[in-house]
Structure 1
């Protein structure tokens, strides 16, 4: 804010300091020529003002004219000591007797006589800085700490509730803080539905993790007719990383089929190439550091079994390696069902060689020892494929041994499959998995249902 000017004292002689009247040209005491202008000092240091402050009032001095004072509101520079009109140094004044704030000089006084302040601003003089950039009225705040933002986001997420007690909070390790119950992992129970096909996979009641996997898809043949694809894989528990093996195989096989069928490949040939692609994907998992093999020398390479089905408007193709199976169940239950695959297992070899009956072979403890699988340490890859042309509608049941252990014969599988499986595939898959769990759930359970023939509305990729 502005202030009123103070009354100026009588001027004094620069030589003898004796007072004189305003109209005198020479000092009456020593005869000094009062019209002479004292030389300006060479050095004019400046001081930087970094905070808002009120300029200190100038000290009264002889021959000093009234000066304006004010409060600074922005950063600027102020000239240091400079002589007044009569040669006296005035703190805060420039060479012309004005104090500059924010690069704007104050009006100078009249020489050697008190007078009203001049309204016109003086020209820039030494001691006042004009090269300082203008400063903004607002300053940007510092960017927030990303760690603090992440913690805030984590707090905002709703806490997971235990599936067992329905009251406790689930910690980061997947256990309930109230009852200590381990929470199901993502692969413990999986369900998927793609148009008329569906699949369900469950960890079972005895295994600590789900080592099965599946892949579903729909596509169109070059003539525009639909094709349905289902792949089911079972990880070999005695191998290392069986869950990774089944996942890699199911993904590679389904992607291979969905890419080859639209290009005109025959479904049976496409199934063979899909099994080879799945084998390469599982073999790639064996490329691990040598240190990992040294730490677990007893472990085999990742391995799994595979069974798949391709259904078109008039053709049914199956392919497999290992002991996962595919069954045919006609819609008309008066017609006989059939098993479409043969196991790569010790029991199947005993039956094929005529050494044991099927009941005797599968009752042996060595029955489920497989003789074919996908993996880097497999003896030899022998993909099995077969094609059928059913004369009536039905459903293809593609499953792991976790299901067919509780419904081994085709007639048993047809008995537990709901009659409306072709129109309610997801519900029917849940029913089959529930049958295995009710029977004991000794293994992982995975089943996919594919209706035959493929309906026209099922066309399109998924």
Structure 2
């Protein structure tokens, strides 16, 4: 007898698992849901992992293209909020979709980045049952094209420029205050934060990195991030893989303790051959 296998039951009560990774019956998160995700696109790749100490991966990423533009969005669900993984997933998808639509019709990068972050914020706010029960997340988006790279952010997810040669640059500044507490995020309890935007016109090839604080708590400096990648076994241009680069960054954070969810998304900029290989199954 053949047919579609039944979905796995809840690890605690055996009940039905909903699409967001929570049990319909007891409401508990399922540890394996989105525990490790890999995605690739021509000239770009991303990896997201639950880490070693979190029950659910509340990070999310989106990767797409629009003409000559490559678009990446990375979001980190705020752990103290309800359903943070849902907030991150919605923000990443809505932000990437709006960026693609705007860039296709020729909207200025600065304008479309601010508008996309606002759209993502409204979508996350709509998830709230009330202001006191408001899913929340941080947000960072990056776009790369022939004219350079641009990024926008709200919260403490970050963007870095990692050139093949030359000085590395931290492109974002955390929206945080005393004791690293967030001062801006997406959610119904955050008002309407406006994304900060920064542009950079690289003189040579390199990688735009978008990541969550699960990585930067272990590698906060741009030069340190590039140094970890430089320790990879040397590869020729024909077999170089951005997906492997992202895996290396995730592996470093895991070896350092994996205390939080970890996401690293890399977009190649320039003329070096960075061919991608298929991502492994989640």
What is the TM-score with the length of structure 1 in the denominator? 0.52
2:45 matched residue in structure 1: 198
Distance 1:261 1:442 in 2: 37
Asked if the contact 1:314–1:453 (Cα under 8 Å) also holds between the matched residues in 2, the reply is: no
**Pairing of 1:217-236 with structure 2 (within 5 A):** 217-220=64-67, 226-236=68-78
Distance 1:193 1:261, change over 3 A: same
2:10 matched residue in structure 1: 173
Picking from 326, 329, 333, the partner of 2:159 is 326
Distance 1:402 1:457, change over 3 A: closer
2:168 matched residue in structure 1: 337
Q: Secondary structure at the match of 2:159?
A: strand
Asked if the contact 1:228–1:454 (Cα under 8 Å) also holds between the matched residues in 2, the reply is: no
2:246 matched residue in structure 1: 429
Distance 1:436 1:251 in 2: 25
**Pairing of 1:102-251 with structure 2 (within 5 A):** 153=2, 157=5, 172-174=9-11, 185-220=32-67, 226-251=68-93
Distance 1:266 1:455, change over 3 A: farther
Distance 1:421 1:317 in 2: 29
Higher strand share: 2
2:145 matched residue in structure 1: 312
**Pairing of 1:436-455 with structure 2 (within 5 A):** 436-453=253-270
User: Would you say 1:269 and 2:111 are equivalent positions?
Assistant: yes
Distance 2:30 2:102 in 1: 40
2:223 matched residue in structure 1: 411
Q: CA deviation at 1:443?
A: 0.4
Distance 1:421 1:207 in 2: 37
What is the TM-score with the length of structure 2 in the denominator? 0.83
Q: 1:101-152: CA deviations, max 9, x gaps?
A: xxxxxxxxxxxxxxxxxxxxxxxxxxxxxxxxxxxxxxxxxxxxxxxxxxx5
Of structures 1 and 2, the larger Rg is shown by 1
User: Would you say 1:375 and 2:187 are equivalent positions?
Assistant: yes
Distance 1:417 1:185, change over 3 A: same
Unaligned 5+ segments in structure 2 are 15-28, 276-282
Q: Secondary structure at the match of 2:82?
A: coil
Distance 2:155 2:247 in 1: 24
User: Would you say 1:283 and 2:114 are equivalent positions?
Assistant: no
Q: Give the structure, 1 or 2, with the largest relative contact order (CA under 8 Å, sep 6 or more).
A: 2
Q: Secondary structure at the match of 2:76?
A: strand
2:279 matched residue in structure 1: none
Size of the alignment, in residue pairs? 255
**Pairing of 1:326-405 with structure 2 (within 5 A):** 326-332=159-165, 335-347=166-178, 366-367=179-180, 369-405=181-217
Asked if the contact 1:429–1:449 (Cα under 8 Å) also holds between the matched residues in 2, the reply is: yes
Q: Secondary structure at the match of 1:277?
A: helix
Q: 1:19-50: CA deviations, max 9, x gaps?
A: xxxxxxxxxxxxxxxxxxxxxxxxxxxxxxxx
Asked if the contact 1:312–1:453 (Cα under 8 Å) also holds between the matched residues in 2, the reply is: no
Q: CA deviation at 1:186?
A: 3.5
Q: CA deviation at 1:202?
A: 0.5
Higher helix share: 2
Distance 1:276 1:380, change over 3 A: closer
Distance 1:236 1:230 in 2: 20
Q: Secondary structure at the match of 2:189?
A: coil
Asked if the contact 1:313–1:454 (Cα under 8 Å) also holds between the matched residues in 2, the reply is: no
Q: Secondary structure at the match of 1:244?
A: helix
1:14 matched residue in structure 2: none
Distance 2:192 2:120 in 1: 14
Distance 1:456 1:415, change over 3 A: closer
Q: Secondary structure at the match of 1:449?
A: strand
Q: CA deviation at 1:239?
A: 0.8
Q: Secondary structure at the match of 1:417?
A: helix
Cα RMSD for the two superposed structures: 2.7
Q: CA deviation at 1:437?
A: 0.5
Distance 2:253 2:119 in 1: 31
Asked if the contact 2:114–2:194 (Cα under 8 Å) also holds between the matched residues in 1, the reply is: no
Asked if the contact 2:30–2:55 (Cα under 8 Å) also holds between the matched residues in 1, the reply is: no
